[in-house]
Amino acid sequence: MMTSRSLSMALLLGVLVSAAQAADEAERPPNIVVFLADDLGWGDLGCYGHPMIETPNLDQFAEQGVRFTQCYSACGVCSPSRSAILTGRTPYRNGVFRWIPEGHPVHLRPSEITIARLLKDQGYETAHVGKWHLNGMFNSPEQPQPSDHGFDYWFATQNNAAPTHKNPENFVRNGEPVGPMEGFSAVLVAEEGIEWLREHRNPDAPFYLQVWTHEPHLPIESDPRFMARYEDQTDNPGVLQHHGNVTQLDHAFGMLMAELDRQGLTDSTIVFFTSDNGPEGDGLGDPANPNSQRNRNQGSTGGLRGRKRDDFEGGIRVPGIVRWPGQIEPGSVSNVPVIGSDIFSTICEIVGIPLPDDRVIDGVSMIPAFAGKPVERPVPLYWRTHISSPDSRIAMRVGDWKIVGNVDLTRFLLFNVEEDPRETTDLSAQEPERFKQMTEQLLELNASILGDGPDWWKSEKSF
């Protein structure tokens, strides 16, 4: 039988152990989650103003952190923007200048330093789940795989979930093909991340978890329970599929956030959410073929000009939300321009990792922007998309001003995107000095970047 003295000693011991654990948590660097959607448009979430799509989990997430109104992907297509998130370097500089078909020679080179590798060197547990799309020779010794870029654990596809988001057959886990799975891609990816958090990571170490879903990229296939939410608003099967697909993505995101809550990890974890580029197609679908995949191209740019593959705003401006309890004011909105490559530098600053000094790092820390303060950019915001509309092959933004060049760099447009985010009015004639200076600056920057990276792009007939 425990005496009052021994009971008091036990209670005191429990308090001391809890205090020690709390002190250990406080000293440990934060856990990090980077959640990336695929082809999600700037206007596709409820918290970004979509009048119809339901995204309750991401809307709640935005109320818990900061929502960026001018967040950009590093490219108008997927593989390049992903390479920039991992390396902090603009795509033509790091070599992944185009989307990568299966079997293609372009890949993220082993010479590139990824944030996963840097964090692993700092004692982080690292995992990637979902779409990879950073090599053509997927799961082959001919090119680097996720494990070669700093990931202890990986569960991935080369590009899209196949045959569709429903019951995919092409996932590979740590080099071993998984085979047919039952369920929908985003949910399966979230479940894999949850499984890793529960069973595979070392709970005594901080972690970096990268969750890259396939939704809402084609070929879209959505769970009927999510499509049912829109049946009283439309009879267009393409709208039902696309909008249900975004809600499916939102549901998967909510599953992961709930797991952080369940494990008591929310307060010690910074979570980034964004998209790899703007929405596919023209946004009108294909009414003549209502059940076709093309009719499922119903993503929204929120009224911005251009779409995926463009360097106009609709192709590169994307949702961007960050939650960091105790560091970011809940429910805040930041109008400071940030870009996917900034995630690398931001994480380095948070963890205390010096930026590599043997290469150009284009991204900067967005920590000031969390509070709406400007960031200093030694290298301007820059985009070059190897397959795009002829009028928007290259772009650069400095302050409120953005210059967009055509395919052969002979015609340029100048916009004040702060006052004219839809890029309706070319101001090159009204601002001749600014236009001349920015044209020269863009051409110089472009030449520098192309000269810095591998010249794989020279063999591409499309550019």
Give the pLDDT confidence score for residue 389 in this predicted structure.
82
Average pLDDT (316-342) is 98
Residue 13 has pLDDT above 80, yes or no: no
Q: Are 384 and 405 in contact (CB under 8 A)?
A: no
* 78 among known catalytic residues: yes
Q: Are 75 and 92 in contact (CB under 8 A)?
A: no
pLDDT in tens, 163-221: 999 999 999 999 999 999 999 999 999 999 999 999 999 999 999 999 999 999 999 99
Name the band, by pLDDT with cuts 50, 70 and 90, for residue 25: low
Q: What domains appear along the chain, each with residue ranges and CATH number?
A: 29-370 (3.40.720.10), 390-454 (3.30.1120.10)
Give the pLDDT confidence score for residue 11 in this predicted structure.
53
Name the band, by pLDDT with cuts 50, 70 and 90, for residue 461: low
Give the pLDDT confidence score for residue 12 in this predicted structure.
52
Per-chain mean pLDDT for the chain: 94
Residue 8 has pLDDT above 70, yes or no: no
Task: Report the percent of the chain where pLDDT is more than 70.
Answer: 94
pLDDT in tens, 375-393: 999 999 999 999 888 899 9
pLDDT in tens, 205-233: 999 999 999 999 999 999 999 999 999 99
- Number of C-beta neighbours around residue 21 at 10 A: 10
The catalytic position among 50, 71, 75, 78 is 78
Residue 10 has pLDDT above 60, yes or no: no
* 133 among known catalytic residues: yes
The catalytic position among 128, 133, 214, 251 is 133
